[in-house]
Amino acid sequence: MPSRLKIFFDGGCRPNPGAIEIAVVAGGRTTILRDLGNGTSSDAEWLALIQALTIARSLDAADFVLIGDTADVVAKANGTVKCRGVDIRHLERFRALASAAGRPRVRHIKRSQNLAGIALARLRRR
């Protein structure tokens, strides 16, 4: 039985609000996107989650879990916390992308365990 693909995501901006950058790690491969416009750290996390789902779809992954360290975005994506304000447009975009195969699993982990967050931190030190 093949194991579930773990796809890690993280986003950030400097300063907050500021220039958005995101990272996604899937199958040992890291994707980093910079200069995604200006926004808040919440915008950056949503964009990272959406990119993670896009990558899962491009890999034709049948069994995957999206893993991030921002509890608020994870809870909103899972529908356990109500979305308000600007986050609604991100949630709608996420759901539209997810609708083809049903709601994907989105899981919260500690920041120290997030491979995408580690990749972003290394990028910032350069």
Predicted local confidence at residue 125, as pLDDT? 65
pTM summary value? 0.94
How many CB atoms lie under 10 A from the CB of residue 35?
8
Domains within the chain, CATH numbers bracketed: 5-121 (3.30.420.10)
Render pLDDT for 31-59 as a digit per residue (tens, 0 to 9).
999 999 999 999 999 999 999 999 999 99
- Long-range (24+ apart) CB contacts under 8 A made by 81-85 are none
Residue with tokens 């199958």: 27
**pLDDT at residue 1 above 80?**
no
CA distances from 116 to 27, 48, 50, 60 (A): 12, 9, 14, 20
CA distances from 28 to 6, 9, 17, 62 (A): 10, 13, 30, 17
